[in-house]
Amino acid sequence: MDITGLKQKIDASGRKIATLGNEYIRSKDETTGRKILVKIFAEISQQTLLLGEQNSQLNRNLQGVKR
């Protein structure tokens, strides 16, 4: 995947985390709050993977430029 596609996915993930954060703030009971936190942590994990892919792609692009 190219840098632009990864950036779009990362941005969408950030918006999703913000939305889940707002849901967490509004949650009325502990059980609901914990379920939302699990979703937040899963999304953060996914975002971390996307950032790693983006970093790898940037490194590959830089290696191509140096040659």
| 21-65 confidence digits (pLDDT tens) | 999 999 999 999 999 999 999 999 999 999 999 999 999 999 987
- Contact (Cβ atoms closer than 8 angstroms) between residue 47 and residue 9: no
Q: Is residue 28, in this structure, part of any structural domain at all?
A: yes
Q: Is residue 9 part of a domain?
A: yes
15 within some domain: yes
Tally of domains in the chain: 1
Q: Is 48 left (phi over 0), alpha (psi -120 to 50) or beta?
A: alpha
Dist CA 27 CA 40 (whole Å): 14
d(CA 41, CA 29): 19
Q: Which domain holds residue 7?
A: 3-61
> Is 13 a domain residue?
yes
Residue type, 54: Q
**Reported confidence tier of residue 16, pLDDT bands at 50, 70, 90:** very high
In this structure, is residue 35 part of a structural domain? yes
Q: pTM to 2 decimals?
A: 0.83
Q: Is residue 66 part of a domain?
A: no
pLDDT of amino acid 67: 58
CA distance 32 to 25: 11
